[in-house]
Amino acid sequence: MTDTDLTTDDSARNIDAGRGPGRRLHGAIAHRLGTDILSGKYAPGDILSGEVAFAEELNVSRSAYREAIQVLTAKGLVASRPKAGTRVLPRDRWNLLDPEVLGWAFTGEPDKEFVRNLFELRAIVEPAAARLAAQRRDKADLREMKTALTAMRQHTLTTEAGRAADRDFHKAILQATRNDALLVLSASIGAAVNWTTVFKQRARALPRNPIPDHVRVYDAIVAGDPGAAAEAMNVLVDLALEDMRGSMPD
């Protein structure tokens, strides 16, 4: 409704501005609307302008706009009813753990409270996952963890390759739990971890060497010691949380 700017220039109001290479048009629209909702530009309860009006405003066809709306509907962000229009759903209906939604939440300055909540979830899930991994891991799992650790040593967390290695390490642990439900959380937690390292790196150059913490977790899992693995992971998450707190204003 507010339509912050979208300058009067024709090219600027083109949705293609936010369109990546492999991303389709309706995907770009969903991204745009998704970020607008997550950023609070459209608040829960707000009603989006009608299909025809909004599609015209974005210079896209109604089909493309509608397909984007279906995506947002599938993620629990909006709901449409004839005559009533398309309205933004209350926040507790949003699939906040959906990887794409999570990505939208992290464009721009993410909500501090939400980041804190994600870390809390991580502090609950990851130590438990490490405990299970210590019980169930096989040689292939350990090999993947070792590979990721080596990669982390080579490229520091300041590089994308290093952050990818970090994600791989945690993902390898979750895979070792033999639990699909835990694994899908990997995408969410991985995104949070990734954003955190980016943020951390932005604040200070490199506050602390993360390798020893990871090695302790790895060693405990190799030894097959569930308690030690959980405790080591607990320490790792705590330290990461501490680092984040240190680099965040609040």
Q: Which of 16, 53, 59, 63 binds a second copy (CB under 8 A)?
A: 63
- 22 binds DNA, rule: CB under 7 A: yes
- 182 binds a second copy, rule: CB under 8 A: yes
Binding mask 86-105 for a second copy (x = CB under 8 A): -----xx-xxxxxxx-----
Q: Which of 55, 78, 128, 149 binds a second copy (CB under 8 A)?
A: 128
CA 123 to CA 109: how far, in whole Å?
23
CA 14 to CA 84: how far, in whole Å?
28
Question: Alpha helices, DSSP H only, in the chain?
Answer: 25-38, 51-57, 62-74, 99-105, 112-136, 139-154, 160-176, 180-203, 211-223, 226-247
CB atoms within 10 A of CB 250: 7
Closer of 50 and 227 to DNA (Cβ): 50
Asked if 61 contacts 55 with a C-beta cutoff of 8 angstroms, the reply is yes
Enter the tokens of residue 81. 């009813």
Enter the tokens of residue 111. 């909500």
- 81 binds DNA, rule: CB under 7 A: yes
Annotate 35-60 with b (16+ C-beta within 10 A) or e (fewer). bbbbeeebebeeebeeeeebbeebeb
- 30 binds DNA, rule: CB under 7 A: no
Sequence-ordered list of residues with C-beta below 8 angstroms from that of 213, at least 6 positions apart, any chain: 232, 235, 236, 239
- 1 binds DNA, rule: CB under 7 A: no
- 66 binds a second copy, rule: CB under 8 A: yes
**Shortest distance, position 78 Cβ to DNA, whole Å:** 10
Q: Which of 51, 57, 67, 231 binds a second copy (CB under 8 A)?
A: 67
Q: Which of 43, 52, 124, 140 binds DNA (CB under 7 A)?
A: 52
- 241 binds a second copy, rule: CB under 8 A: no
Residue ranges binding DNA (CB under 7 A): 22, 24-27, 48, 50-52, 59-64, 66-67, 69, 80-86
Q: Which residues bind a second copy (CB under 8 A)?
A: 26, 30, 63, 66-68, 70-71, 73-76, 91-92, 94-100, 114, 117-118, 120-121, 124-125, 128-129, 132, 179-185, 188
